[in-house]
Amino acid sequence: MINPRPTWPRPIGPRLVSPRSCTSSRAGVGGGGWDPSPLEPFANARLLLNENARPGDITSTVIATHVIECLLERAQYITAKLNTTGVETGDFTYNGYITRAAKLSATPGFSWLSSELIWQQSGRRVASASAPRSAAGSVTPYPTAQAISTVVAPCNGLIWLGDLSLLNPAGNPDVDPYAQYTKFAVLEFGAPYNDGGIGALVQPLIGERIYGTLTPNWQGCVSAAVSIGYVDLR
């Protein structure tokens, strides 16, 4: 006698979708055309980051600043035992995802905290055309086409960690008495996959990952940034 085919219980819930079906024009070159991030309503921080003439050299001239709005979560307190390059004792590490971004001038004032800031891209850093530069930071005669550049890690800047719905058109950082307005340094963008391979599938869906350190109660925000909203953090 032939046993009948067993009837396994069927799972109840939405049908699983293969990652291959998630590919779309959002994953195009340069990340242009990405849909708004699903994490955008949950963003809790704005970063103002320096783009340096020599990428990764925070001592070189600041040629532009980047505003990044993101969802951040505190990860770890840095003790003396964990102190290392780029991470100081007393700092906190944070990681999360970029929800939207804009590129501004090297001295943006407090416009980066304005509620009326015009965003240029969703989900990742803004990359734009700039004159090709040599390792020394000077303009090179080649290639003849303009290079595409963005802010890279490591880079220094400021963080406003608080209720973003309270920001006003003037960009006043004091609108939220509970917000942290202090120094922030980015140690890594794009982990764990970066923008190629599976990263080209994941990043357009949830945004580019960001990891950095926050320095609590950094007095430079009061002494140096109160008038122009920008600090030389070298």
Total domains in the fold of the chain: 1
Neighbours of 174 (CB within 10 A): 8
> Is residue 8 assigned to a domain?
no
Q: Rounded CA gap, 35 and 48, in Å?
A: 23
Q: Rounded CA gap, 184 and 43, in Å?
A: 16
> Is residue 26 assigned to a domain?
no
Model pLDDT for residues 61-97, shown as the tens digit of each residue: 999 999 999 999 999 877 766 776 667 777 899 999 9
Range of the domain at 91: 46-223
Q: What is the mean pLDDT of residues 6-34?
A: 47
Model pLDDT for residues 91-131, shown as the tens digit of each residue: 899 999 999 999 999 999 999 999 999 999 999 999 987 65
> Is residue 6 assigned to a domain?
no
Confidence of residue 206 (pLDDT cuts 50, 70, 90): very high
> Is residue 234 assigned to a domain?
no
